[in-house]
Protein backbone atom coordinates (compact mmCIF):
# COMPACT_ATOMS: atom_id res chain seq x y z
CA UNK A 1 0.00 0.00 0.00
CA UNK A 2 1.28 3.44 -0.95
CA UNK A 3 2.38 5.52 2.03
CA UNK A 4 3.46 9.16 1.87
CA UNK A 5 4.84 11.68 4.34
CA UNK A 6 2.33 14.33 5.38
CA UNK A 7 4.20 17.67 5.36
CA UNK A 8 1.80 19.04 7.97
CA UNK A 9 2.60 16.44 10.63
CA UNK A 10 5.76 14.69 9.39
CA UNK A 11 3.93 11.38 9.82
CA UNK A 12 3.79 8.59 7.25
CA UNK A 13 0.17 8.06 6.20
CA UNK A 14 -1.73 5.81 3.82
CA UNK A 15 -2.35 7.51 0.49
CA UNK A 16 -5.25 5.13 -0.05
CA UNK A 17 -8.32 5.48 2.20
CA UNK A 18 -9.08 2.66 4.61
CA UNK A 19 -12.35 2.05 2.78
CA UNK A 20 -11.39 1.87 -0.87
CA UNK A 21 -12.90 4.83 -2.67
CA UNK A 22 -12.15 7.93 -4.69
CA UNK A 23 -9.04 9.96 -3.84
CA UNK A 24 -8.84 13.62 -4.91
CA UNK A 25 -5.35 14.86 -5.71
CA UNK A 26 -4.88 18.62 -5.96
CA UNK A 27 -1.74 20.24 -7.42
CA UNK A 28 -1.14 23.76 -6.06
CA UNK A 29 1.18 26.09 -8.00
CA UNK A 30 1.43 29.85 -8.23
CA UNK A 31 2.76 30.26 -11.77
CA UNK A 32 4.87 28.77 -14.52
CA UNK A 33 8.46 27.80 -13.76
CA UNK A 34 10.49 24.63 -13.40
CA UNK A 35 9.52 24.29 -9.73
CA UNK A 36 5.83 24.35 -10.69
CA UNK A 37 6.47 21.70 -13.32
CA UNK A 38 8.10 19.51 -10.68
CA UNK A 39 5.00 19.85 -8.48
CA UNK A 40 2.85 18.75 -11.42
CA UNK A 41 5.25 15.89 -12.19
CA UNK A 42 5.02 14.58 -8.62
CA UNK A 43 1.24 14.90 -8.89
CA UNK A 44 1.38 12.80 -12.06
CA UNK A 45 3.50 10.16 -10.30
CA UNK A 46 1.13 10.06 -7.35
CA UNK A 47 -1.88 9.60 -9.62
CA UNK A 48 -0.12 6.85 -11.58
CA UNK A 49 0.94 5.04 -8.39
CA UNK A 50 -2.58 5.19 -6.95
CA UNK A 51 -4.10 3.91 -10.19
CA UNK A 52 -1.57 1.07 -10.39
CA UNK A 53 -2.78 0.08 -6.92
CA UNK A 54 -6.40 0.10 -8.06
CA UNK A 55 -7.46 3.40 -6.44
CA UNK A 56 -9.76 5.67 -8.48
CA UNK A 57 -8.36 9.22 -8.65
CA UNK A 58 -9.74 12.68 -9.39
CA UNK A 59 -6.83 15.01 -10.23
CA UNK A 60 -7.20 18.81 -10.08
CA UNK A 61 -4.97 21.80 -10.83
CA UNK A 62 -5.17 24.82 -8.50
CA UNK A 63 -3.35 27.87 -9.84
CA UNK A 64 -4.03 31.56 -9.97
CA UNK A 65 -2.68 32.38 -13.41
CA UNK A 66 -0.51 31.32 -16.36
CA UNK A 67 -2.57 28.19 -16.94
CA UNK A 68 -2.03 27.95 -20.74
CA UNK A 69 1.78 28.10 -20.40
CA UNK A 70 1.75 25.77 -17.44
CA UNK A 71 -0.47 23.23 -19.16
CA UNK A 72 1.62 23.35 -22.34
CA UNK A 73 4.81 22.77 -20.33
CA UNK A 74 3.18 19.90 -18.42
CA UNK A 75 1.99 18.26 -21.64
CA UNK A 76 5.51 18.46 -23.09
CA UNK A 77 6.77 16.53 -20.05
CA UNK A 78 4.14 13.82 -20.52
CA UNK A 79 2.11 14.94 -17.49
CA UNK A 80 -1.48 13.89 -17.95
CA UNK A 81 -4.12 16.67 -17.98
CA UNK A 82 -5.57 17.88 -14.68
CA UNK A 83 -9.04 19.32 -14.25
CA UNK A 84 -9.25 23.08 -13.82
CA UNK A 85 -9.65 23.75 -10.10
CA UNK A 86 -11.53 26.98 -10.80
CA UNK A 87 -14.30 24.97 -12.39
CA UNK A 88 -14.46 22.21 -9.78
CA UNK A 89 -17.67 22.40 -7.84
CA UNK A 90 -19.00 20.11 -5.18
CA UNK A 91 -17.30 17.05 -3.81
CA UNK A 92 -17.67 13.72 -5.60
CA UNK A 93 -17.70 11.85 -2.30
CA UNK A 94 -13.96 11.28 -2.18
CA UNK A 95 -12.60 9.38 0.81
CA UNK A 96 -9.17 11.04 0.79
CA UNK A 97 -7.77 14.42 -0.32
CA UNK A 98 -4.06 14.93 -1.02
CA UNK A 99 -2.61 18.38 -1.75
CA UNK A 100 0.69 18.45 -3.67
CA UNK A 101 2.49 21.72 -2.86
CA UNK A 102 5.90 23.32 -3.21
CA UNK A 103 7.98 22.86 -0.06
CA UNK A 104 8.96 26.53 -0.18
CA UNK A 105 5.38 27.80 -0.63
CA UNK A 106 5.43 29.34 2.86
CA UNK A 107 3.25 28.90 5.96
CA UNK A 108 0.08 29.89 4.10
CA UNK A 109 0.18 26.52 2.33
CA UNK A 110 -0.44 24.79 5.65
CA UNK A 111 -3.52 26.91 6.30
CA UNK A 112 -5.44 25.78 3.24
CA UNK A 113 -8.10 23.07 2.92
CA UNK A 114 -7.96 19.99 5.09
CA UNK A 115 -6.17 16.94 3.77
CA UNK A 116 -2.74 15.37 3.48
CA UNK A 117 0.08 17.66 2.29
CA UNK A 118 2.73 16.23 -0.07
CA UNK A 119 5.65 18.69 -0.25
CA UNK A 120 7.94 18.94 -3.27
CA UNK A 121 11.45 20.40 -2.92
CA UNK A 122 12.48 23.28 -5.22
CA UNK A 123 14.39 23.23 -8.49
CA UNK A 124 17.60 25.21 -8.94
CA UNK A 125 17.87 25.66 -12.70
CA UNK A 126 20.70 27.12 -14.74
CA UNK A 127 18.09 28.72 -17.01
CA UNK A 128 14.87 30.38 -15.82
CA UNK A 129 13.07 29.10 -18.92
CA UNK A 130 11.83 25.58 -17.99
CA UNK A 131 11.98 24.01 -21.44
CA UNK A 132 14.61 26.10 -23.22
CA UNK A 133 16.37 23.74 -25.65
CA UNK A 134 15.88 20.66 -23.45
CA UNK A 135 14.56 17.26 -24.51
CA UNK A 136 11.28 17.23 -22.49
CA UNK A 137 11.54 13.53 -21.58
CA UNK A 138 15.16 13.98 -20.48
CA UNK A 139 13.97 16.91 -18.37
CA UNK A 140 11.28 14.65 -16.88
CA UNK A 141 13.92 12.06 -15.97
CA UNK A 142 16.26 14.71 -14.53
CA UNK A 143 13.43 15.97 -12.31
CA UNK A 144 12.59 12.40 -11.25
CA UNK A 145 16.12 11.34 -10.34
CA UNK A 146 16.39 12.87 -6.83
CA UNK A 147 13.79 12.07 -4.18
CA UNK A 148 10.91 14.52 -4.28
CA UNK A 149 11.88 15.93 -0.86
CA UNK A 150 15.36 16.90 -2.10
CA UNK A 151 16.13 19.92 -4.28
CA UNK A 152 16.96 19.37 -7.95
CA UNK A 153 19.88 21.13 -9.61
CA UNK A 154 19.20 21.36 -13.32
CA UNK A 155 22.20 22.14 -15.48
CA UNK A 156 23.75 20.91 -18.71
CA UNK A 157 25.44 17.98 -16.96
CA UNK A 158 22.20 16.73 -15.36
CA UNK A 159 20.25 17.00 -18.61
CA UNK A 160 23.01 15.31 -20.62
CA UNK A 161 23.18 12.43 -18.15
CA UNK A 162 19.39 12.01 -18.29
CA UNK A 163 19.42 12.13 -22.11
CA UNK A 164 22.17 9.48 -22.29
CA UNK A 165 20.35 7.22 -19.81
CA UNK A 166 17.15 7.45 -21.84
CA UNK A 167 18.96 6.63 -25.09
CA UNK A 168 20.73 3.65 -23.49
CA UNK A 169 17.56 2.24 -21.91
CA UNK A 170 15.42 2.71 -25.01
CA UNK A 171 18.04 0.95 -27.14
CA UNK A 172 18.22 -1.91 -24.63
CA UNK A 173 14.42 -2.25 -24.41
CA UNK A 174 14.15 -2.40 -28.21
CA UNK A 175 16.74 -5.19 -28.24
CA UNK A 176 15.09 -7.16 -25.43
CA UNK A 177 11.74 -6.93 -27.23
CA UNK A 178 13.16 -9.17 -29.99
CA UNK A 179 13.31 -12.09 -27.53
CA UNK A 180 10.37 -14.20 -26.27
CA UNK A 181 8.42 -12.53 -23.49
CA UNK A 182 9.00 -13.79 -19.95
CA UNK A 183 7.14 -12.85 -16.76
CA UNK A 184 8.60 -10.33 -14.36
CA UNK A 185 10.21 -12.31 -11.51
CA UNK A 186 8.14 -12.05 -8.34
CA UNK A 187 11.00 -10.56 -6.32
CA UNK A 188 11.60 -7.85 -8.95
CA UNK A 189 7.92 -6.88 -9.08
CA UNK A 190 7.81 -6.82 -5.27
CA UNK A 191 10.90 -4.59 -5.08
CA UNK A 192 9.51 -2.21 -7.69
CA UNK A 193 6.23 -1.74 -5.88
CA UNK A 194 7.96 -1.53 -2.49
CA UNK A 195 10.08 1.34 -3.81
CA UNK A 196 7.34 3.51 -5.28
CA UNK A 197 4.95 2.70 -2.40
CA UNK A 198 7.57 4.00 0.06
CA UNK A 199 6.84 7.72 -0.21
CA UNK A 200 7.18 7.64 -4.02
CA UNK A 201 10.82 6.53 -3.93
CA UNK A 202 11.41 6.91 -7.66
CA UNK A 203 15.23 6.86 -7.28
CA UNK A 204 14.79 3.39 -5.80
CA UNK A 205 12.86 2.35 -8.91
CA UNK A 206 15.60 3.76 -11.16
CA UNK A 207 18.31 1.91 -9.21
CA UNK A 208 16.39 -1.36 -9.55
CA UNK A 209 16.04 -0.87 -13.31
CA UNK A 210 19.80 -0.35 -13.56
CA UNK A 211 20.30 -3.66 -11.69
CA UNK A 212 17.80 -5.49 -13.91
CA UNK A 213 19.71 -4.40 -17.00
CA UNK A 214 22.89 -6.02 -15.66
CA UNK A 215 21.47 -9.13 -13.94
CA UNK A 216 23.09 -12.05 -15.83
CA UNK A 217 20.49 -14.68 -14.90
CA UNK A 218 17.47 -12.66 -16.02
CA UNK A 219 16.00 -13.52 -19.47
CA UNK A 220 15.86 -10.60 -21.88
CA UNK A 221 12.11 -11.05 -22.24
CA UNK A 222 11.74 -10.52 -18.47
CA UNK A 223 13.92 -7.40 -18.64
CA UNK A 224 11.61 -6.00 -21.31
CA UNK A 225 8.48 -6.68 -19.27
CA UNK A 226 10.09 -5.15 -16.17
CA UNK A 227 10.96 -1.91 -17.95
CA UNK A 228 7.55 -1.70 -19.64
CA UNK A 229 5.81 -2.22 -16.29
CA UNK A 230 7.94 0.36 -14.46
CA UNK A 231 7.30 2.86 -17.24
CA UNK A 232 3.61 2.84 -16.37
CA UNK A 233 4.76 4.84 -13.34
CA UNK A 234 7.74 6.70 -14.80
CA UNK A 235 6.17 7.83 -18.09
CA UNK A 236 9.51 7.92 -19.95
CA UNK A 237 8.29 6.25 -23.17
CA UNK A 238 10.93 3.54 -22.77
CA UNK A 239 9.35 1.39 -25.52
CA UNK A 240 9.53 4.22 -28.09
CA UNK A 241 12.19 2.55 -30.26
CA UNK A 242 10.50 -0.84 -30.67
CA UNK A 243 10.73 -1.97 -34.26
CA UNK A 244 13.46 0.50 -35.17
CA UNK A 245 16.78 -0.79 -36.54
CA UNK A 246 19.26 -1.35 -33.73
Could you tell me if 142 and 223 lie in one domain? no
Which CATH number covers residue 26?
Answer: 3.40.50.620
Could you tell me if 96 and 193 lie in one domain? no
Q: How far apart are CA 145 and CA 189, in angstroms?
A: 20
Q: For 200-239, how does the pLDDT look when each residue is reduced to its tens digit (9 = 90+)?
A: 999 999 999 999 999 989 999 999 999 999 999 999 999 9
Could you tell me if 138 and 191 lie in one domain? no
Q: How far apart are CA 132 and CA 156, in angstroms?
A: 11
pLDDT score recorded for residue 63 = 86
Could you tell me if 82 and 192 lie in one domain? no
Q: What is the pTM of this model?
A: 0.91
Q: For 3-23, how does the pLDDT look when each residue is reduced to its tens digit (9 = 90+)?
A: 999 999 999 999 887 667 889
More confident residue, 210 or 133: 210
Could you tell me if 71 and 169 lie in one domain? no
Please determine, for residue 87, whether its predicted confidence score (pLDDT) is greater than 70.
no
Could you tell me if 136 and 214 lie in one domain? no
Q: Which domain holds residue 182?
A: 162-234
Amino acid sequence: MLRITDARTGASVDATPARRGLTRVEAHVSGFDTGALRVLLVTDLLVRALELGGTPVWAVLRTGHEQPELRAGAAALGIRPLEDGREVGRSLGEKQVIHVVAADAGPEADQGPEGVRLAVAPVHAASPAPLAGADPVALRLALLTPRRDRPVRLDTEALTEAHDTLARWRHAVAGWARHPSRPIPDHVRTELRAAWEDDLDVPGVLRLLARVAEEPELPDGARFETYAYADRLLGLDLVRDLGHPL
